[in-house]
Structure 1
Amino acid sequence: MKEFFKPLPALVAGLFFILVLSFSSIAQVTVSPATAAQMAQALVGSGISVSNATITNGTANAYGLFQANGAPIGINAGVVLTTGDINNIIGPNNSGSTTTNNFGAGDPQLTALSGYNTLDAVGFEFDLIPTADTLKFNYIFGSEEYAEWVGAQQYNDVFGFFISGPGIVGQQNIALIPGTTTPVSINNINCQGANPSYYICNDPNNSICPGSANCPPVGTQTALQYDGLTVLLQAKIVIQPCQTYHLRLGIADCTDGSYDSGVMIEAGSLSSTGVQITPITGYVDPNNQFSTAVEGCVDGQFQMSLNTVAQDTIVFHFGIGGTATMGTDYNSIPDSVVFYPGDSVLYINITPVADGLTEGIENIVLFQLITCNGNPFDSSIMNIADQILVSSPNDTAVCFGEPVQLNAISGSTFNYNWSPPIGLSCSNCDSALATPPQSTTYTITVTVNSCTAMDSTSITVNSTNANAGPDIYLCIGDSIQLNGSGGINYQWSPPTNLSATNISNPWTDTQDTITYYLDASIPIVGCNTQDTLVVYSVASLNGAAGNDTTICRGESANLWATGGTEYFWKPPVWLTNPSDSNTVSTPNLSTTYTVIITNQFGCIDSQTVAVDFFPDPYVYTMFDKTIYQGDSVLIAAYGGVSYTWSPNYFISDTTIQGPIVAPQQTTTYWATVTTANGCVYKTNIVVNVINTADIYIPNAFSPNNDEVNDYFTYIARGIFSLSSFKIYNRWGELVWENFNSTKGWDGMTKGEPAAMGVYIYEIKGVDVNNRQIERKGNLTLIR
């Protein structure tokens, strides 16, 4: 039993990172079991017929078919034979010792070839009949024994391709190193000095092969499991046409069943053609990648190539077919060519006829004929087109300064013109290197003779411009959000005090001055730039503002703040300027203002100032008054400590609380009331003036000299002028009369006290409007 422990690879960070970004994921190789007949049919190419295919050794899991599915292994599909399990060829390479031991028998031919005991052998063989004098097929050998078991010959797995038949002595191994008689094996092709040009290192954990072997840095970049492979090799032998040969393909483990090996033979590569027919034109149709001749523009040739230089005269016959009509769509050509001794290549010229018709793609097909029976077995096709086409690369996106290869169709007789010429290595060649300074659409115009074609490629230039923002000042105890831009992906470093490092706008609350680095990238095209940002740590701000204040309603308060360079008062109402350090508030409601103070570093503090009102006093006056013209009345206001009345006429005093007023007409008197807090309020009273007169007369009096009701008289309201004042006894006799008495009747008549009893009064006069006023009634004299 072989044992080997591979060391872990040293991680070269920079190279590893670059390579990982430069490779896309590898396509997946697939395998499937198959019968011997299916495998033989898969190998058959031109000029070969096969029969009697059999598997002579091996378990069913050790052989089958494979598909590369686009994986870069050098073969698209074919037959695989292994010493273990066909599934073990599938990459990526994540093991250095993949093994499936089938505990199968060995193979005598392979034992003889290696010189050591074999086991787990697989033999695949069949009969074949070639149509020409050369047999060939393509293959790749791979093994898990690379590279650590190079030189340990007793363990080296062995394989061979053995052919027998007419002209061959015994069974000849044709799995040889090109140009030699040396069999292909692990010891004969490797990275340690034995034919390294034929070796491919497939080991991401390599510790043996030199750097020139270009081993993959990571397993994800490998499509096969084997640690080492050969390049695509060709097995080739000269044989006799139309004779039956026997081909046997075999592979086996040596000494033990550890470490799988396998050989992959390319599908369709088993061929035997005496002459290779190749279409040649100066134009390849970009839609189908066929060599194409073009009417009026591009002629073509069929190249006839022998496998070797002719030793004798050889007449090569071929069939002519296709959708194009010879003599109508192209010139007439012969159906055979003659190779004379020394010849190896001949040409048949094709000239399409420019008929001016739109016919689409037509083709000329030359068929190779089986020498044995004259039947066609292979063909070569040349298309004929009505006009040329040109195809430039697909639109793409690149980083600023990154070049793009612009390739158009090739042809030595074609004229090319790329426009605009800006950023191009050349503008009149088929392949130009474009390094546009900004996003640009390049148009390629191709002309040949009278034919012209155009296509275009748009190159989007992505220019990352990492911008970490301007340096900032951060007050101790505060946090701030950074705002990076210029990319799609972002990475901040160092991570100190950052809320996140992989977003454009993290927060930081660093208490120390620090420099942050921002990497901005566009991952699709791999663009990347860097910028820096310094966060300066500064002391926090301690601002100040005025004290709370109380004002009278309707008055203003002066507000002030200090300690910063910018100020903002909120709510910003009832202020002369909310953005000034000193402002004036004339509020309608009690308001608490908050001033935001900012200094030159962006540090922020806030202070509050409350503006309140003195309690509203109960300021009021008496109810409105009504007087007769000429009368006076007391008016008064309440709620203050001082008073001022207006207007200042017909009033006893304008500075007392309760003055006497005697207006001549209805007047509104205003009282300006000042409270103990100095607040000023206004209230009013209306004095209604009646501009007529009236008299009021009592119904009794007692003239007994006690100074109470000693006179009988009237009370006049308003301006009243007396005309006559008379007293009659109950018999109608006049007992007293006066025309201007201000006191009235004193109860005397004719010098004597009048008797007690009921008397009659009569008073006459006029008011200020000369309206007559007259009153009559009874009065009682009481003694």
Structure 2
Amino acid sequence: FTSGSLANNDQVTVIMTSNASCTTTLTATSNVITTTASSVTPSVSINASSTSICAGSSITFTATPTNGGTTPTYQWQVNGVNAGTNSATFTSGSLSNNDQITVIMTSNASCAATSTATSNVITITASSVTPSVSINASSTSICAGSSITFTATPTNGGTTPTYQWQVNGVNVPGQVSSTFTSTSLSTGDIVTAIMTSNNSCTSPPAATSNGVTVSVTAPVPGIRYKAVTATPNIPLQLQARALGNNYSYQWIPPVGLNFSNIKDPVFDYDKQTEYLIRISSGIGCITVDTLLVNIVNTPSVFVPNAWTPNGDGHNDYLFPLTINVTQLKYFRVFNRWGQKVFETNIIGNGWDGNFNGKPQPIDVYVWTVEAVSSGGFIYKTSGRAVLLR
């Protein structure tokens, strides 16, 4: 008796009818056999080497069967579409964000209640980042030969980004760090940096920075000024040349000057001095000029050869102009008849052309002067001046 439809705990017996002539009874019932019938349910689970990857990275999935029999078969699927091969593993480098991976296993177990089983779903997180880099400079306007430093700031550069600095699109040999310093740039040069990220999720891996344009100014050559002559301890204003706006000045040495850090200091000293004038621009260009101040100890007196006492505020007085004179003993004026019409011993005082309250006529007048220099030297001189009205 053969059956393929027995259920669990079914009891099977047989009744035999004998044809033997000597039997006491014709039939006999056999022993009872109770059947035990069982089935198994196949299943499959999958896991991944990673569920979060960089876009384009490879990921491997592995199937683990239960009740799969001796040689189960597999059908991998991506978003419900068949993929891969009949294998317990599936590897792909083309998955996208939110792709869903499953596998259908077909069991060859003899007691399987159903032949196929579908796995759990694994959802993929795939991401990518875009690298960038910006650069800035310690200054964009410099003096020729001055140093300038550029610094790169990366975004999504990874742990150890690499750099290649360029000037006008040409690689600068050996300049591969995050900073670049140069003293040989020219005006109009454009500096950039190419950063290569080692972040595994970057796409693309390299990025080019913004360009920084450099302005380079040549320093103004220094010159030697024409020497000036000063009287000991008599204030004299010195003058440095003006090179433009935002320049600073430093006179070296500072001796004999009211201020050593201005363009036009006042000299008040009794010794010959040669000054170096250090002129610095706002971007660091330095020009060094030279000025020699000579000292004259010999007194000198100058009296104009004409004056016009007409009350217009110009040239109204006849008086001596003195150099290196500390004392005026007298300044006297005489008319053509030898009569003294004016006298003073005060430096800066002069004759207004009046005598005894009356304007004097147009004529030639004789003057004489006696003065004392700072060194005690007595200086005398005389001359003529024309009164004009």
TM range (shorter): 0.3 to 0.5
Q: TM-score, normalised by structure 2?
A: 0.46
Structure with larger RCO (C-alpha < 8 A, sep 6+): 2
Structure holding more helix per residue: 1
Pick the structure with greater CA Rg: 1
Q: TM-score, normalised by structure 1?
A: 0.25
